[in-house]
Structure formats: structure tokens, C-alpha cells
């Protein structure tokens, strides 16, 4: 690539999140960076988009640096849409999302605003990667994650990512010396056993607080959950095509038109 790559950076934890600032620092060493991120936390938003209210975008300067930064009142998916259609002078060479504070492995990928931003880029034909560190602490140590993000992003820029494919990268919460390597994996079959804790406001009105336990139902050794448990970085290629291709032939035997 003769010119510096244009890199779109976004996330779901908000524009001031330390994980985002760490990712920006990495990308500034690789190419020309533009940041479009939510103005506040948007975790668990999935692929929500704003359709019934206005979206405001403000140019900001959170950190000194060569990057251009925009704070957006919309969702992570909104941020990517706006960047691609309004804020960028040319199409980005890659979109990186994160570094998320917490896991986006297994079933979490469908709830994740971080991954939905990356998937939105994929929908629009932009190579994209979502990065997550398995540490929910706001003051997490991102030093090892930064090196992983640099390595994988450089490989993606050199080798390319097929259209419609997005990389979901999860990084174990251990020191750099304890990371055993990087594994390409499949998404583990797992779910959340959820409960709603019923509570009352001081005024006596009932409300509910979502709680739950993550349950890994997959014993395979080729999954993201297995890799992370063994202190490997997991890389799962994901796509936005939700078609259950294996069921099409059988579904065609149903008598819809009789």
C-alpha cells in the first residue's frame, strides 16, 4: 500500500474510554486515523440504529494527536454509518472497534455494540476487526492488547479480509508474558442463564435488574472459550449473514402452498 491507510476507529464504551484511547494510540502508528465514537457508554446495544430521534455529532479533542475525533449521540452502528457517509473524505481501508472493556466471545457477539460497529463496517464492504479485552475494569492494563491489535491489524491490511467477513478478537486478561499465542477459532455454543431481580424504587414502584450466569455448553477444543481459558488470543471470523443454510433443503419440503 503506497499511501498511509485510512483507519476508522470506533467503540461502544464511549469516546473517553481507556480502551478506545489505547486503540487510537496503536492505529496512529499505522495510518491516518479518524475516530467516530459514541458520546457515552453503549454496551449491549447490539446492532441498534437511531430512527426516531436526531443524531448530533461534535468534533472533539480528547487527546492530543494527529487523529480527527468526533463524538456522536447515536449508537456504535450509527457512528460507522455517519463516518462512511458524511465525515470521511474517502472510504476507510479498515475499521477497528474497541478495545472493549470485557469479553465479546461466544454468544456475546450478538449483543455487543463493539462487534456491531465492526459488522456495520463489514456490511458496507469495509474490512473490520473488533477487539475486546477480558477485563471490565475501567483502568484495565491494555499494554498486551495493544500489541495484539497492532499485529492483527497489520496482517489484515497486508493479507486482506474477504467481503462480508469481520474478525472478532478476544484477548485474555493476563500479562503479556502469559499469553501463549493467537488461535483461529469458531464461536463456542454458550448462553446466558438470565434472571430479572425484582426491586422497588423509594416511591414503591416495581422495577427489574437483569442478572445472569454465563454457561459454556461447548466442550470443543477449537472454540474461542477454550482458547481464552488456556490464555490464547481467540480470533473468530464472523459474518452478518444469519441464514441457516443447512435447513433450506428441508424447509423446501414444507407444504406452504397447498
DSSP state of 7: E
- The residue segments making up the domain with residue 109 are 6-251
Please count the structural domains in the chain. 1
pTM value is 0.92
Asked, for residue 239, whether it belongs to a domain, the answer is yes
Asked, for residue 224, whether it belongs to a domain, the answer is yes
DSSP state of 83: I
Asked, for residue 256, whether it belongs to a domain, the answer is no
Rounded Cα gap, residues 144 and 135, in angstroms: 12
Asked, for residue 63, whether it belongs to a domain, the answer is yes
Give the pLDDT confidence of 18-58 residue by residue, as tens digits. Answer: 999 999 999 999 999 999 999 988 887 788 888 899 999 99
Asked, for residue 258, whether it belongs to a domain, the answer is no
118: nearest Cα among 247, 249, 235, 257? 235
| Average confidence score pLDDT of the chain | 93
Asked, for residue 71, whether it belongs to a domain, the answer is yes
Asked, for residue 143, whether it belongs to a domain, the answer is yes
Asked, for residue 232, whether it belongs to a domain, the answer is yes
- What is the pLDDT averaged over residues 77-86? 95
Give the pLDDT confidence of 120-166 residue by residue, as tens digits. Answer: 999 999 999 999 999 999 999 999 999 999 999 999 999 999 999 99
Q: Are 187 and 108 in contact (CB under 8 A)?
A: no
Question: Looking at residue 192, which CATH number applies to its domain?
Answer: 3.40.1210.10
pLDDT at 210: 86
User: Is residue 1 over pLDDT 50?
Assistant: no
Amino acid at each position: 500500500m503506497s499511501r498511509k491507510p485510512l483507519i476508522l476507529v470506533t467503540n461502544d464504551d464511549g469516546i473517553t474510554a481507556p480502551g478506545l484511547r489505547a486503540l487510537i494510540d496503536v492505529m496512529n502508528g499505522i495510518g491516518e486515523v479518524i475516530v467516530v465514537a459514541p458520546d457515552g457508554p453503549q454496551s449491549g446495544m447490539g446492532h441498534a440504529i437511531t430512527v426516531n430521534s436526531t443524531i448530533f455529532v461534535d468534533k472533539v479533542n480528547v487527546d492530543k494527536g494527529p487523529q480527527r475525533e468526533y463524538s456522536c449521540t447515536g449508537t456504535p452502528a450509527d457512528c460507522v454509518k455517519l463516518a462512511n457517509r458524511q465525515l470521511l473524505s474517502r472510504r476507510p481501508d479498515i475499521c477497528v472497534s474497541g478495545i472493549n472493556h470485557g469479553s465479546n466471545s461466544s454468544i456475546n457477539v450478538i449483543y455487543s455494540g463493539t462487534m456491531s460497529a465492526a459488522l456495520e463496517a463489514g456490511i458496507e464492504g469495509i474490512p473490520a476487526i473488533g477487539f475486546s479485552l477480558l477485563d471490565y475494569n475501567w483502568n484495565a492494563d491494555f499494554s498486551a492488547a495493544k500489541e495484539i491489535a497492532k499485529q492483527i491489524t497489520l496482517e489484515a491490511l497486508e493479507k486482506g479480509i474477504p467481503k462480508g467477513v469481520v474478525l472478532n478478537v478476544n484477548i485474555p486478561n493476563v500479562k503479556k508474558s502469559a499469553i501463549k499465542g493467537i488461535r483461529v477459532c469458531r464461536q463456542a455454543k454458550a448462553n446466558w442463564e438470565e434472571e430479572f431481580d425484582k426491586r422497588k424504587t423509594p416511591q414503591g414502584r416495581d422495577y427489574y435488574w437483569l442478572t445472569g450466569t454465563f454457561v459454556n455448553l461447548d466442550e470443543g477444543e477449537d472454540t474461542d472459550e477454550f482458547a481464552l481459558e488456556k490464555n490464547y488470543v481467540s480470533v473468530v471470523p464472523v459474518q452478518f449473514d444469519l441464514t441457516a443454510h443447512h435447513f433450506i433443503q428441508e424447509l423446501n419440503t414444507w407444504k406452504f402452498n397447498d
